[in-house]
């Protein structure tokens, strides 16, 4: 993206990501982030790739702007470069991939090759615009990722590391941000990709690509560290599949991967020969070899991320690091990176995947194309406002839902009374749907669209998985903790506001493994009590931490204080307000429906508490479990 010779940056820029997965829109004014949201939250289609019309409308409405008042609209990657990569890849691998080529070309020619025209048509369906007055810009994919991390960070200067599946050509990049400038120093190119390597193992372990990678990460702790099988799997990975270089670059042996030209990630028969077992089919039982394979690739991934970080340090000499791209959502690797102290400070963009590219595209246009001034926060807080950038709903809208469903409720006039009652309900082992304020931007629920419960209850992980989320029993839950109390519960003293770091539970809170533990099956390991916070403690005595800060979410912070006053504990469970396969709820009506369809005990929206026992019998109007495709 070349700099434009204008003295002043435009006031309002709209960023868009679309057409691949996790479409989103974001709007900024004078470099300040005003609003951002994923399209899936409006359409209720998880990872929706369609043009984000609803997200665009929301951003415009929240900013109080019409499209003709927008100074620039920026798309998060360059489709012609991506088309070039597609053609060159098919040519390089020919005659392999002929069938895939014939299927892909009509889509590209009809929809993606003329993307500028298609974007303008989609925008015109929202509001007629004069293309001579509204600039339509395109930024490179990894620059969008880099911009989303650096310009939102609290650092004036920092190294930038982006790692994902693939953009146009780049699959990983190292850069440096300084003031309002970003310089990309080094790139790794397709087909050699850490993101695609990890997704290949996601696929082989029976999870959905671009959706189930976090399941693979959650399965890894059930592998047996240091076991002969894990060592053997790691040896196969690093000898046969990927050559890992000291500078973080990797070379993937394409004899074993089919993603470049096919409709699958790997050659199943070749992997079966390598690892000694077939690809797991979705929803079939998990065996120990699946757990050990997940651990093996997780450890290899961590090694590569650390190598990339060391190379970024070597190239930049910076003391701070910013990260984005889908691999930056691997919070276990992030925790290891933080522990390594390669950099003094670490900032990871909470919407690190393609959705965050919409925000990055807008920020890149402001700072690079228009040479807009960079405003670095005066404190250690970043510019994302806790990532609470989505829609919010009024008491009148909550009351309209209550009237529609004839739903009894209790309304509180005083916030303190509401929070004390909520804390009491959680302490009494009730499961709470918590719908407050502006919706989060990014994949994590951070206390605006959350399900809350007591982390001290040994049965709560099982109950939440089986009765609320309707998902696999091994899936862990994250703790929320008062920022000022984090060191009392975890081996960590910093901030983790976006639930993107895994850290150990305090040693004195851990419980020892029982005799013969390593020989037990997954389910026996699963329900072994591992600490005095059993519902949030992973099998390896770690947890994915979210620190709650008064500055960004005062009501949630006060709730944790109320819970601590009543119980002596400053930690609760926080999981996303949805069921498996469903996007996180957005509106009060979606929250009420999810509440009534599941085993939640109470729903708290704004100042209103809905008790499940008091609600009228729920009349289901659709086969909703079929509506939400299993992720």
Distance between CA atoms of residues 286 and 218, nearest Å:
13
pTM of the model: 0.94
Same domain, 355 and 435: no
Domain ranges, residue 368? 12-152+351-383
Q: Does residue 306 lie within any of the structural domains? A: yes
Same domain, 427 and 524: yes
Same domain, 307 and 361: no
Q: Which CATH number goes with the domain that contains 122?
A: 3.30.420.40
Q: Does residue 579 lie within any of the structural domains? A: yes
Same domain, 613 and 496: yes
Task: Give the pLDDT confidence of 340-354 residue by residue, as tens digits.
Answer: 999 999 999 999 999
**CA-closest candidate to residue 112, choices 19, 47, 15:** 19
Peptide bond into 447 cis (omega under 30): no
Residue 140, SS3 per DSSP? coil
Cα Rg for the chain, rounded, in angstroms? Answer: 24
Residue 24, SS3 per DSSP? strand
What does the pLDDT read at residue 630? 66
What is the DSSP secondary-structure string of 539-563?
TTSEEEEEEE-TTT-HHHHHHHHHH
Same domain, 323 and 411: no
Q: Does residue 175 lie within any of the structural domains? A: no
Same domain, 57 and 147: yes
What does the pLDDT read at residue 8? 57
Distance between CA atoms of residues 73 and 126, nearest Å:
14
Same domain, 370 and 328: no
Distance between CA atoms of residues 333 and 159, nearest Å:
18
Q: Does residue 289 lie within any of the structural domains? A: yes
Q: Does residue 171 lie within any of the structural domains? A: no
Provide the number of structural domains found in the chain.
Answer: 3
Q: Does residue 179 lie within any of the structural domains? A: no
Q: Does residue 189 lie within any of the structural domains? A: no
What does the pLDDT read at residue 17? 97
Same domain, 373 and 477: no
Separation of CA 179 from chain center: 27
Task: Give the pLDDT confidence of 206-235 residue by residue, as tens digits.
Answer: 999 988 999 999 999 999 999 999 999 999
> Which residue positions in the chain have pLDDT lower than 50?
5, 7
Asked if 244 and 310 count as a contact pair (C-beta separation under 8 A), the reply is: no
Asked if 191 and 259 count as a contact pair (C-beta separation under 8 A), the reply is: yes
Same domain, 319 and 368: no
What does the pLDDT read at residue 79? 77
Same domain, 296 and 379: no
Residue 400, SS3 per DSSP? helix
Strands 250-252 and 501-504, by their bridges, are unpaired
Same domain, 363 and 284: no
What does the pLDDT read at residue 443? 95
Q: Does residue 102 lie within any of the structural domains? A: yes
Q: Which CATH number goes with the domain that contains 516?
A: 3.90.870.20
């Amino acid at each position: 993206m070349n700099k434009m010779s204008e003295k002043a940056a435009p006031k309002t820029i709209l960023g868009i990501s679309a057409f691949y997965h996790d479409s989103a829109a974001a709007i900024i004014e004078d470099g300040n982030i005003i609003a951002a949201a994923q399209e899936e939250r409006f359409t209720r289609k998880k990872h929706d790739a369609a043009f984000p019309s609803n997200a665009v409308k929301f951003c415009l409405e929240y900013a109080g702007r019409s499209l003709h008042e927008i100074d620039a609209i920026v798309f998060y990657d360059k489709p012609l470069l991506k088309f070039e990569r597609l053609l060159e890849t098919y040519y390089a691998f020919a005659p392999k991939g002929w069938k895939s080529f014939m299927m892909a070309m009509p889509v590209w020619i009809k929809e993606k090759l003329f993307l500028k025209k298609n974007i303008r048509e989609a925008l015109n369906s929202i509001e007629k615009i004069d293309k001579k007055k509204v600039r339509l810009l395109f930024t490179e994919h990894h620059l969008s990722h880099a911009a989303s991390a650096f310009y939102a960070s609290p650092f004036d200067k920092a190294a930038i590391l982006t790692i994902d599946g693939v953009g146009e050509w780049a699959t990983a990049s190292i850069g440096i941000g300084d003031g309002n400038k970003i310089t990309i120093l080094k790139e790794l190119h397709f087909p050699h990709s850490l993101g695609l390597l990890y997704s290949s193992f996601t696929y082989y372990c029976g999870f959905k690509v671009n959706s189930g990678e976090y399941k693979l990460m959650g399965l890894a702790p059930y592998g047996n560290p240091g076991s002969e099988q894990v060592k053997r799997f790691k040896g196969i990975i690093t000898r046969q599949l990927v050559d890992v270089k000291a500078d973080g670059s990797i070379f993937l042996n394409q004899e074993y991967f089919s993603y470049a030209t096919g409709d699958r990630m790997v050659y199943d028969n070749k992997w079966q020969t390598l690892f000694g077992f077939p690809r797991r089919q979705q929803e079939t039982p998990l065996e120990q070899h699946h757990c050990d394979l997940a651990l093996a690739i997780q450890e290899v991934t961590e090694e590569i991320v650390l190598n990339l970080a060391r190379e970024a340090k070597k190239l930049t000499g910076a003391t701070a690091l910013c990260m984005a791209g889908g691999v930056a959502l691997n919070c276990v690797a992030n925790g290891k990176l933080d522990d390594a102290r390669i950099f003094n400070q670490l900032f990871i963009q909470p919407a690190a995947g393609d959705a965050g590219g919409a925000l990055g595209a807008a920020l890149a246009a402001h700072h690079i194309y228009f040479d807009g001034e960079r405003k670095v926060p005066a404190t250690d807080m970043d510019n994302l406002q806790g990532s609470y950038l989505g829609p919010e709903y009024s008491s009148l809208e909550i009351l309209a839902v209550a009237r529609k469903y004839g739903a009894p409720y209790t309304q509180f006039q005083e916030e303190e009374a509401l929070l004390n009652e909520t804390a009491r309900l959680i302490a009494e082992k009730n499961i709470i749907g918590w719908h407050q304020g502006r919706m989060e931007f990014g994949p994590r629920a951070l206390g605006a669209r959350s399900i809350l419960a007591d982390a001290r209850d040994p049965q709560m992980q099982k109950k939440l998985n089986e009765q609320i989320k309707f998902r696999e029993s091994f899936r862990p839950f994250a703790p929320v903790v008062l920022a000022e109390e984090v060191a009392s519960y975890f081996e960590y003293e910093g901030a983790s506001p976006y639930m993107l770091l895994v850290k150990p539970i305090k040693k004195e809170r851990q419980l020892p493994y029982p005799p013969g533990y390593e020989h037990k099956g997954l389910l026996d390991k699963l329900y072994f009590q591992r600490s005095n916070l059993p519902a949030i403690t992973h099998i390896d005595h770690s947890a994915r931490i979210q620190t709650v800060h008064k500055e960004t979410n005062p009501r949630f912070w006060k709730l944790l204080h109320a819970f601590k006053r009543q119980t002596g504990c400053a930690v609760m469970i926080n999981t996303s307000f949805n069921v498996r396969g469903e996007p996180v709820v957005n509106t009060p009506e979606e929250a009420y429906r999810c509440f009534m369809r599941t085993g939640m005990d109470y729903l708290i929206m704004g100042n209103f508490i809905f008790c499940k026992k008091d609600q009228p019998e729920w009349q289901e109007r659709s086969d909703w479990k079929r509506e939400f495709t299993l992720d």
